[in-house]
A and B are shown apart, each in its own frame.
Chain A
Amino acid sequence: MTRGLYGVALISIVLIAIGVATTYFGSRYHLRLVYGAYVNLLVVLGLQVFMGNARITNLSHSAFMGIGAYVAAICVTPETVKAISLPQAPWGLNAFSLDPISSALIAIAITAIIAALIGLIIVRLTAIGATIVSLAVLVIVHSVFLFRTDIFKGNQAFFGIPQVFSLTSIVILSVAVVFIARMFRESKWGVQLRASADDELGAQASGVNIHQVRLIAWILSGILLSIAGIAYAFYLGTISARPFYFNHVFLTLAMLILGGMRTVTGAVLGTLIISFGLESVRWIETGPVVLGIDLPEVLGLSGVVLGAVIVLTMAFRPEGIMGDREVEDLLLKP
């Protein structure tokens, strides 16, 4: 635990430093880029809590992020805006609006309830079964977002969400979530969950209630993902169904796999490398002039690179960059 706090402190220093540097020296473009990276950091941390500790691949995380984002958006957007954007909304959804904090709390609560219901099924399945169900959940949730246009507006923008978050708010949030994810990993539940991933029968013989610890991690994961969604909606002011689907699932999965899913440090490292690495790939994609050489335009390069990152990591370092080591393990004696 003490070592864990030391690790959290080290990661926090890096996260705060990036935030401060961007605030003082960054352009508006940089600000948005870094904010996006921090939203993905929250997603990857949420993913790590379940996937990294239980070692069961989850593909529904972007859906839970979307649920958090939409519920908060529906609650917080003023009636005047909703009267225009959601004229057909059922159950009086366009006839009320709440302050941002209540909206966020409602979004978290609803996501947690949905996560709990789905979790009751997920935790009883084998690893492959759970992954397939999580994929189905992603598709179902996306279909609802896409076709219940009277509530979610589908692929059109859900606009008019008050922009209450700044880079400072998400940096604070990231530090808090790093703390939560790390403390969960070192908690009694976290250790029991990691033990059950190592040896299910051995854990059972030691009295670990595997279903229960998995469910706890799954719900906590859902809560953190909803927070990521809320942070996304509260900054951009507009959301739509598309960002909460396959591309995003794949992007954040690559981040976690590259950094190493077993540790919180791995989740942070993978997110930072891919977020900023991908930005340089996108720049090359546009065919810039480098050292006097006019490079050709390579559309789709970022997708290729992302896929290659997963393939190469799986082939050469399947446990990710960090493996079993948290940041303080690199600096402190055991």
Chain B
Amino acid sequence: MLAVDQLSVFHGPIEAVHGISFNVAAGQCVSLLGPNGAGKTSTISAITGVVRATGRIEVDGEIMSDQPVESRILKGVSVAPEGRRVFANLSVEDNLKLGGAIVQNKANIRSDIAHWLQTFPVLGERRAQLAGTLSGGEQQMLAIARALMSRPKILLLDEPSLGLAPKIVAQIFDIIRHLKNEGMTILLVEQNATQALKLSDYSYLLNNGKIVAEGSAEKLGQSNELMAELTGIA
């Protein structure tokens, strides 16, 4: 489904990611793990097309790397960005409407909004409320629902657990598990490795802009190397 080959990402003159390659098969949940500054968000941003990058990004065999953000969304890439980035002064409903704005016709948008408000009943109760007044967990749900409004082939989740209480983190991971069970292809970026590993079919460990380890949850979970990379404790 998603194939990334020799991807390098630049922030101005600085190269944040150095020629990494990885794959996500259809229906899988794959995670990119690693400490702060490893290049996880840079990788996500390169896939969505908001930063300068070299290398090859393919979705369903179609090359994305040379296309602008809008056409990548049209072709099935959608992201719930780091820090949620909901539109604080728009209502929950308008946030969702925006998620579908460039992809869907009006009728589909209406039925999709109804569908997601049903899936996330907390959002349903708050549909007319301004997104800025939601709690962190609710904003994260909204960010995920907004990303799903474009009916993506692959959903990119950037640090969905960031800054949330443990109980809420568990809820968010339940949602991700639910989406996976429904057949959604997911690329998950996380610092919270324990939770992410449990959920993922396959994981890549990123450090200093390079992939330093990869494998299934079982393999990586037992590796001391991984724990050392993530915690800094050898």
Contact = CB atoms under 8 A, between A and B. Distances in A.
Interface stretch (B81-89, B175-183, B209-217): B81-89
A209 B71 CA distance: 11
B69 A204 contact: yes
Interface in B110-144: 128-130
A199 B97 contact: no
Interface in B128-176: 128-130, 146, 150
Contacts of A194: 87, 89-90
B127 to A, nearest CB: 8
Q: Chain A at the B interface: mostly helix, strand, loop or mixed?
A: helix
B98 A191 contact: yes
Given A204-B69, A208-B98, 15 more contacts: A194-B87, A195-B90, A195-B94, A198-B87, A198-B90, A202-B81, A203-B87, A205-B81, A205-B85, A206-B98, A207-B74, A207-B102, A207-B150, A324-B89, A334-B129
Contact of A205 (B74, B79, B88, B129): B79
Contacts of A197: 89
Nearest to B84: A202
Contacts of A28: none
Interface of A: 188, 191-192, 194-195, 197-199, 201-209, 262, 324, 334
B97 A205 contact: no
Interface residues of B, number: 27
Q: Which of A203, A205, A324 has the most CB of B within 10 A?
A: A205
A334 B128 contact: yes
A191 B109 CA distance: 14
A30 to B, nearest CB: 38
B48 interface: yes
A324 B91 CA distance: 11
Nearest to B94: A191
Contacts of A334: 128-129
Contacts of B74: 207
11 contacts: A191-B90, A195-B94, A198-B90, A204-B50, A205-B48, A206-B99, A207-B69, A207-B101, A208-B102, A209-B70, A324-B89
